[in-house]
Amino acid sequence: MNIIVAGVGYVGTTTAVLLAELGCKVTGVDVNPDKIAALKNGQLPFYEPGLDQMLKKHYEAGNIAFSSDLGTVITDHDVIFICVGTPSQADGSADMRYVREVLSEIGATMESYKLIVMKSTVPIGTQVLAEQWIKEAQHQPYAFDVISNPEFLREGSAVYDAFHPDRIVIGSKSAEAATKLQVLYETLNCPVLTTTPATAEMIKYASNAFLATKISFINELARLCDALHVSITDVAAGMGYDPRIGMAFLRAGIGYGGSCFPKDVRSLLHTAAKQGMSLHLLQQAVNVNDTQYKYALHRLRDLLGTFQGKRIAVLGLSFKPETDDLREAPSLSIIPVLLTEGAVVQVHDPIASIPDGMRADKLTQHPSIEDTLLDVDAVLLCTEWNAYIQADWEKLLTVMKGSIMMDGRNALNRERLEALGYQYVGIGLGN
């Protein structure tokens, strides 16, 4: 099968590699010529473990090609996966500009039947609009199907997730079109759910909204645990053994970030508002998340007395480990507060860099953890990179001025750090 993947960000590139492994010939298309040029040179414009090697393998084998012009390659392809971004707009709704642009281009350039597979996270009801946008752009009424096939990839483990999906959701009006996709995914060996397109679109939002709510639930409870001198980590473990609850996504910390949860939750709230409804529980999950980093700062401020004149190390910029993605990362909310309140901030991240817009005299990024901790009064861990978990904390304490360790992800070994002489504080650990 010859497939176009439109939009080669982390979802599109991972999807292209998966489809190539499944035996398809794939053309990755993007309107950004720089991105296409970089990919042709084997360079990923973002960090995703394992993806570059797989891409190289399939590119060199001729299974994946790239183009910046959909119109010139569409004729040779029967199937088009849409993987373009749907970023948040000011009112919380998803910006459908890129989806609409690519669908219009498909409509305007197609000269035979096309199966269009929507992987981008799009508001419920988009499949109907998608058909309309394609028809409006068509010069002749060629047949097509638009299927909703949401992705559930996590950044940092996108390749693994693509090859080991928990489930595949296919939302299609046409049974024949759904079967084509089912055959394509046959070897992935996981439950396949076929639904209406709108249901498939809702499944994606509901999944992310539920996971975000789970995190906010445990984060809010963590604040109560601190007040009651109870450990949220033990509470979460005690809850998680109940299979109805499960261990996953009960790690308390400084809140969720990334390219999906914040955006998708806002979009679902916007969809509900358009129906004249409020999703109260989900709104509260957002409120908890919006204040969770402030809670961590409040605890750190209490320990230091003030941030004024204090030197603070921030470990980790990215919204989670194994990615350089800074979108909605809690660190980007935390650092400006520290600077505004007069702290000197020394930052480390194994991959991500301080964004240009945040540069300030009292903000520096250092290549090593040791340099970052030099003379600091306190450390604030924002991202649980393995490098921090494995670090030589005994040696690192000797370069610090103070001994405060605020573990914003409850990721470090509390007993060991306390034994070494750190004043260790986590989120909801009750100390």
Show the tokens assigned to 356. 């240009």
Nearer to ligand UDX, 214 or 348 (CB): 214
Neighbouring C-beta atoms of residue 125, cutoff 10 Å: 14
Compute the least distance from the CB of residue 211 to ligand UDX, in Å.
6
How far is it, in rounded angstroms, from Cα 7 to Cα 222?
Answer: 39
Compute the least distance from the CB of residue 359 to ligand UDX, in Å.
24
Compute the least distance from the CB of residue 128 to ligand UDX, in Å.
23
Show the tokens assigned to 78. 């029967």
Compute the least distance from the CB of residue 9 to ligand UDX, in Å.
12
83 among known catalytic residues? no
- The three-state secondary structure class of 203 is helix
Find the catalytic residue in 24, 83, 225, 260.
260
Residue whose C-alpha is closest to residue 426's, from 230, 198, 274:
230
Show the tokens assigned to 408. 């914003």
> What's the Cα-to-Cα distance from 130 to each of 13, 95, 102, 189, 320, rounded to whole Å?
22, 14, 10, 29, 33
Nearer to ligand UDX, 199 or 207 (CB): 207
- The three-state secondary structure class of 292 is helix
- The three-state secondary structure class of 69 is coil
304: enclosing H helix or E strand: helix 280-304
How far is it, in rounded angstroms, from Cα 42 to Cα 286?
Answer: 38
State the SS3 of 93-108. CECCHHHHHHHHHHHH
Nearer to ligand UDX, 211 or 347 (CB): 211
Compute the least distance from the CB of residue 212 to ligand UDX, in Å.
8
Binding site for ligand UDX (CB under 6 A): 151-155, 208, 211, 215, 249-251, 253, 256-258, 260-261, 319-320
Show the tokens assigned to 385. 């990179």
How far is it, in rounded angstroms, from Cα 167 to Cα 187?
Answer: 13
Chain centroid, CA 36 distance in Å: 22
How far is it, in rounded angstroms, from Cα 41 to Cα 131?
Answer: 35
Nearer to ligand UDX, 211 or 332 (CB): 211
CB closest to ligand UDX, residue no = 260
Cβ atoms of 211 and 249 closer than 8 Å: yes
Nearer to ligand UDX, 256 or 422 (CB): 256
Compute the least distance from the CB of residue 427 to ligand UDX, in Å.
9
Compute the least distance from the CB of residue 430 to ligand UDX, in Å.
18
Cβ atoms of 214 and 239 closer than 8 Å: no
Nearer to ligand UDX, 73 or 352 (CB): 352
Cβ atoms of 52 and 17 closer than 8 Å: no
Nearer to ligand UDX, 120 or 208 (CB): 208
How far is it, in rounded angstroms, from Cα 219 to Cα 217?
Answer: 5
Query: Where in the sequence numbering do the catalytic residues fall?
Result: 260
